Structure 1
């Protein structure tokens, strides 16, 4: 079969590799849609190396059709399915206390397990047995199903800072993740959502997604504007949706007394950021990270999208066939797209 094989940083190419076969309990899926994540770009460029193998196949946001059922009674060839790509061990203390997204004994599709930038993908029996596969309703597109994974990570992040209808929310970065934060904050009824991004196209997309106001950080003082938008208080929640360490420092300037800060975006290993510890102490700010997703997050987001409570269709702005992987990655990295999909047919 064809697959986009990552051989080394900055080296990815379409190649013929062995077609996966279902072992006992495994399921094989024909990939119908796989979307490109910012983390895929970071791995491709060598900025993320933890858990990365060479050679390997990336891609953890995807959906497709079952071609081998692995003997599971609830699956048939041709079934349309999506997948929660993180497979927790289910036995460690983190898993037992409801924090399976932090499980250090687990594995993930697109990392330890070859991913979806390929024609076919093998889903391990452990993932199937744990309930990671979900059947798509007829009206749910493959592209929408692929977006459930990053949306689930966003829900995990907003749960950590407790975004609610009482909150003003400042989101730094209006890339795909920042826009999903807008969608979820609006879904939760946040009283005011302000988004900062230097890209005019993405600021427009943030307004379309439900933001109340946007800021061009190259043209105005973000802190002054946030205070103006919040009656002088600052934002109750500040979300760093892009992995720029300097934004962590800025976040403390933007937060209200008692505010919560989410360092949501991935940062390169070894990167450090200066933060105003005096502000954290005297204004009782809460600073938290957010990593990955749990099956509970995935199921919640899958149901929101499947029932139409959240519409993400407009986020897919560019689509390419698998054999145009180089073009797809280039457009995703350029910032010209919101979300780029690799599609079969």
Structure 2
């Protein structure tokens, strides 16, 4: 089959690889849509190396059609499915506490298991046993279903930071993740949503997604605008939705007393930034991280898309066929697109 093989940082070769060789119980899907994540870009560029294998096939946001059901009693060939790519073990100390996204033995499709930038993908039988494989709801396209994974990660982040009805929410960064945060914050009942983004096209995208105010942090005083929009006290919630370490400290200065700050975005290994620990201490700030997703959050995400409560279609701005994976990755890395999809 054809696939995009990551051989080393900045070395992605499109060509022939071995067909998936499923063991009993595994599924094989024909990939119908796979979207490019910021994490994929960081891996390709070499800025993220932890857990990365060479050679490997990336792609963890995807949907497809079953071509080999592996003897499953739940699914059959021809079924349209999407997959939560984070497979928890179910028995470690964290899984027992219901914290499967930080499972000690997490197996991730697109990292430990070859991913979806390929014609076909093997889904381990364990993913079927654990309930990581979901039938696609009627009316949901393959492209929309591929976005269930990043949306579920955003749901996880907002559940951690506790966005509540009536909150003023400031979001730093208006890439695909920042825009999803806008959508989810609005569904959670946020009163005012302020988005900080230097890219004018992405500021416009934030307004279309439902932001009330967009700010150019290069030429405008973000802190003054947040205070003005919040009655002078600062945001209830601040979400760092882009992996720029210095923004973590900026976020502390935007939050009100006893405000909540989410360091949602992943940062490159070795990148450090000072934090004003006195601001955390004296202002009684709650600062939280956010990693991955759970199966329940994936299901919530899929239901939000299927019900029409959260429209992901406008996010899909660029589409490429698999042979153009190099151009697709370059487009995503440049920031020209909101979300880039590989479709078949």
Q: TM-score, normalised by structure 1?
A: 0.99
Which residue of 1 is the match for residue 128 of structure 2? 128
Q: Quote the Cα distance in structure 2 between the aligned partners of 1:137 and 1:110.
A: 24
Which residue of 1 is the match for residue 205 of structure 2? 205
Which residue of 2 is the match for residue 183 of structure 1? 183
Q: Quote the Cα distance in structure 1 between the aligned partners of 2:156 and 2:291.
A: 8
Deviation of residue 60 (structure 1)?
Answer: 0.1
Superposed CA offset, 1:154-208 (max 9, x none): 0000011100113110000000000000010011110110000001111111111
Which residue of 2 is the match for residue 149 of structure 1? 149
Superposed CA offset, 1:102-150 (max 9, x none): 0121210000000000000000000001111111123100000000000
Q: Secondary structure at the match of 1:271?
A: coil
Check conservation: 2:206, 2:214, Cα contact below 8 A.
Answer: yes
Superposed CA offset, 1:291-315 (max 9, x none): 0001111011111111212111000
Q: Secondary structure at the match of 1:166?
A: coil
Q: Quote the Cα distance in structure 1 between the aligned partners of 2:291 and 2:213.
A: 27
Q: Quote the Cα distance in structure 2 between the aligned partners of 1:251 and 1:198.
A: 16
Which residue of 2 is the match for residue 324 of structure 1? 324
Deviation of residue 88 (structure 1)?
Answer: 0.3
Which residue of 1 is the match for residue 270 of structure 2? 270
Which residue of 2 is the match for residue 101 of structure 1? 101
Deviation of residue 275 (structure 1)?
Answer: 1.3
Are residues 1:164 and 2:164 paired?
Answer: yes
Q: Displaced runs of 4+ in structure 1, greater than 4 A?
A: none
Q: Quote the Cα distance in structure 1 between the aligned partners of 2:229 and 2:167.
A: 12
Superposed CA offset, 1:63-104 (max 9, x none): 000000010111111100000000000000100111100012
Provide the aligned length of Structure 1 versus Structure 2. 344
Q: Quote the Cα distance in structure 2 between the aligned partners of 1:84 and 1:265.
A: 19
Are residues 1:81 and 2:81 paired?
Answer: yes
Are residues 1:41 and 2:41 paired?
Answer: yes
Q: Quote the Cα distance in structure 2 between the aligned partners of 1:206 and 1:130.
A: 36
Which residue of 2 is the match for residue 55 of structure 1? 55
- For residues 230-309 of structure 1, the aligned pairs below 5 Å read 230-309=230-309
Q: Quote the Cα distance in structure 1 between the aligned partners of 2:228 and 2:322.
A: 47
Q: Structure 2: which 5+ runs fail to align? A: none
More off after superposition, 317-326 vs 136-145: 136-145
Q: Quote the Cα distance in structure 2 between the aligned partners of 1:62 and 1:156.
A: 19
Q: Quote the Cα distance in structure 2 between the aligned partners of 1:237 and 1:307.
A: 27
Q: Quote the Cα distance in structure 1 between the aligned partners of 2:275 and 2:138.
A: 48
Q: TM-score, normalised by structure 2?
A: 0.99
What RMSD, in angstroms, separates the aligned Cα atoms of the two structures? 0.7
Q: Secondary structure at the match of 2:202?
A: helix
Deviation of residue 276 (structure 1)?
Answer: 1.2
More off after superposition, 148-157 vs 135-144: 135-144
Deviation of residue 57 (structure 1)?
Answer: 0.2
Q: Secondary structure at the match of 1:56?
A: coil
Q: Quote the Cα distance in structure 2 between the aligned partners of 1:252 and 1:276.
A: 8
Q: Quote the Cα distance in structure 2 between the aligned partners of 1:138 and 1:242.
A: 33
Q: Quote the Cα distance in structure 1 between the aligned partners of 2:124 and 2:243.
A: 31
